Amino acid sequence: MVSTVRTAPEPWWEGSMDAYDMPAMGVEEELLLVDAATLAAAPGAPAVLKHCASAPGAAGRFSAEITTLQVETKSAPHRHARALGGELLALRRTVARAAEREGLRVVASGLPVLGDVVPPPLTEGERFAEGMATYRALHDEMSMCAFQVHVDIPDLPRALDVGNRLRPWLPVLLAMAANSPYFAGRDTGYATWRALAWGRWPVAGPPPYFHSPAHYEDVLGALAESGALVDRGTVFWDVRPSARLPTLEVRVADMTGTAAESAFLAVLVRALVTVALREAERGEPAPAPSAEVLRAAYWRAARDGLDGMGLDVATGRAVPAPLLAERMVAYARPALVRHGDADLVETGLRWLLRHGCGAARQRAAAAAAGSLAGAVRWLAAQTGAEGFPDPGRR
């Protein structure tokens, strides 16, 4: 059982709810395609996207990714978890039906478990070609899939301030969402190999602490001058002001196994943002853990997920990873209560701590089947499942 620390929400907010009390949130999910027979990653995105385009309400909801092994879905903005979760499940099922027509299946995992995917088949297009010319062999492992949450913050100063305040929680979110233990037929020994592979890029991982919008622009100017950016869309930090939307984007997580996990993590992220906004309004200083400590916390979270110890970046001490997750939920609890999301998040946290992060569940599925193919079959079944499913059901 989880003994989640509770904090009293009563004095925290007064008056009616406004946009900053309950900002809208949207989600992008990157899904992998696998051959229905071999279960190896398969390059079928162009055909699958054509089928998706004919689905009701498809406009703007489906897009290509950098490889033809992937399809991305984009939810509408939502204020309520039930509506968001319902749309995410519907989008996943639409992609699954389209994939079926091409002899494929869809899996929600941070990396392909099986297949000859190094280098992966790349999507054609001018921007993708420019990225290949810039980043070269860094694209070799670009069959990775992330889960991205957008929260409405329409002005840059607030977005940067909130990003500063979220930095200490990024390793905890990474551990909770770790879902890429396997890559191209081997166990990497990590809970999220995607995070380690992604960290090699010049503008990835936790962002710097930004002192002002001018500081942010100076950093981006230097990065552009170095050639590390194709454009502002290639600022890949795990929390960033979106280059195309009036939002703060949190993109630290592996692709989650189920739509229920996605909704759970999205409302948790929205609550963390809301608490951070209130702290900023009260003039509380933002924590500023060093880049070195954050890097160590990332590595431990990537290796172990929710198993074993994590690193408390405030104290520099090793702490059980589940306790860090409980502390984060306790920190977010006033906003979760305000939004009506406390029950969902506490249910999701209990489920996660009972059954493990996605990596632990993938490994359990592979062990039960005696092969990595068993993990892929299980992932495909979970991708379109409703609610928090029983991980033992394959």
Q: Could you read off the pLDDT of 91-143 as tens digits, one per residue?
A: 999 999 999 999 999 999 999 999 999 999 999 888 888 888 888 988 898 99
- CA distance linking residue 106 with residue 161, whole number of Å: 37
Average pLDDT over residues 236-257: 95
| Helix residue ranges, H only, 32-100 | 45-53, 81-100
- CA distance linking residue 341 with residue 9, whole number of Å: 13
Give percent of the chain above pLDDT 90. Answer: 84
Coil, strand, or helix at residue 79? coil
- CA distance linking residue 337 with residue 330, whole number of Å: 11
DSSP state of 91: H
Residue 32: strand pairing partners: 70, 107
Give the predicted TM-score (pTM) of the model. Answer: 0.93
pLDDT at 390: 81
The region of weakest confidence among 1-15, 22-36, 146-160 is 1-15
pLDDT at 3: 33
Whether 341 contacts 235, CB under 8 Å: no
Q: Which fold has domain 25-383?
A: Creatine Kinase; Chain A, domain 2 (3.30.590)
pLDDT at 4: 33
DSSP state of 169: G
What would the pLDDT profile of 190-205 be if each residue is shown by its tens digit?
999 999 999 888 899 9
Q: How many CB atoms lie within 10 A of CB 359?
A: 30
Does residue 160 carry a pLDDT above 50?
yes
pLDDT at 68: 97
pLDDT at 392: 63
Does residue 8 carry a pLDDT above 50?
no
Whether 305 contacts 174, CB under 8 Å: no
The domains of the chain are located at 25-383
pLDDT at 52: 98
Q: Tell which residue, 66, 81, 71, 67, has the closest CA to residue 28.
A: 71
DSSP state of 247: E
